[in-house]
Amino acid sequence: MVDISTSLLSADKQKIIDTIYDLEKAKTDYFHIDVMDGEFVEKNTHDLMLEYCEYLDHISKVPLDVHLMVSDIKNYVDSYLIFNPNIITFHYEACKNKEEVISIIKYIKEKGRRVGISVKPNTKIEEIYQFLQYVHLVLVMTVEPGKGGQELIPETIDKIRELKNCRDTHNFDFDIEVDGGIKVENSQEIIDAGADILVAGTAILTSKDYGDTIRKLK
């Protein structure tokens, strides 16, 4: 059975506490925290996500899944460590070279957190094969990072299949997480392709019954 990581990016800030309670009751497996820096992507969500993490820290036991869409990765890692996230994922494209990728993987592990690496839709999945033995998770973006509520780009689904084949061939044990445009109508195809964790924001938050939507996504 796949896990569902609910993105709070498109949540209504005025009702965030109720939304967090409702999502926990609806049995979301993770809260997905979309951190944007206004540099790697246009929007800046850092202050908002720190505020949400403070609330989550006080009222929820659901593990945090932090997705850093930022250029200055280590600095942002430091900002979220206090919330003891289950996983911290950074973007391969935000790194200058292979050495930087390796150093960030090491840095996050030394801080005692699980580490994920993410690729944007136009990045070939083969480019990160050299790092797969070191990570706990790979986040395949199925939309351009930057905002919620976009349509999934169908061509990205092949990358999930390739990644799963590679994992099976080499006996690696990272999780495959998929993020962007996931809804009840397309979740089965993504699960069949090999996803272990589905990120969903608008599909859940705009539905009437969060629990029912999460069950259907699974």
102, 134 contact by CB (below 8 A):
yes
User: Cβ of residue 199: shortest distance to ligand DX5, in angstroms?
Assistant: 5
Region of 14-22, 72-80, 86-94, 174-182 interacting with ligand DX5 (CB under 6 A): 174-182
Count Cα neighbours of 29 within 13 Å in the Cβ-side half-sphere.
Answer: 16
Active-site residue numbers?
Answer: 34, 179
Query: Please, what is the minimum distance in Å from the beta carbon of residue 89 to ligand DX5?
Result: 10
Question: Minimal distance in Å, beta carbon 33 to Zn ion?
Answer: 8
Total residues binding ligand DX5 (CB under 6 A): 22
Question: Cα separation of 62 and 57, whole Å?
Answer: 9
Q: Based on CB atoms, which residue is closest to Zn ion, 29 or 179? A: 179
**Residue 102, token pair as written in the block:** 């390796």
Please name the residues in contact with 199: beta carbons below 8 A apart, sequence gap of 6 or more.
5, 6, 7, 32, 65, 67, 139, 177, 178, 179, 180, 182
Contact stretch for Zn ion (CB under 5 A) within 15-23, 65-73, 84-92, 105-113:
65-73
- Which residues ranging from 48 to 77 are in contact with ligand DX5 (CB under 6 A)? 67
Q: Is residue 177 part of the contact set for Zn ion (CB under 5 A)? A: no
Interface with ligand DX5, residue 182, by CB under 6 A? yes
Closest by CA to 87, choosing from 117, 47, 128, 58, is: 117
Q: Which helix (H) or strand (E) holds 215?
A: helix 210-217
Q: Which residues of 40-58 are buried (b: 16+ CB within 10 A; e: fewer)?
A: bbeeebbebbeebbeebee
Least distance from ligand DX5 to the Cβ atom of residue 190, Å: 12
Q: Does 91 help bind Zn ion (rule: CB under 5 A)?
A: no
Name the site residues for ligand DX5 (rule: CB under 6 A): 7, 9-10, 32, 34, 67, 143, 145-150, 179-182, 199-203
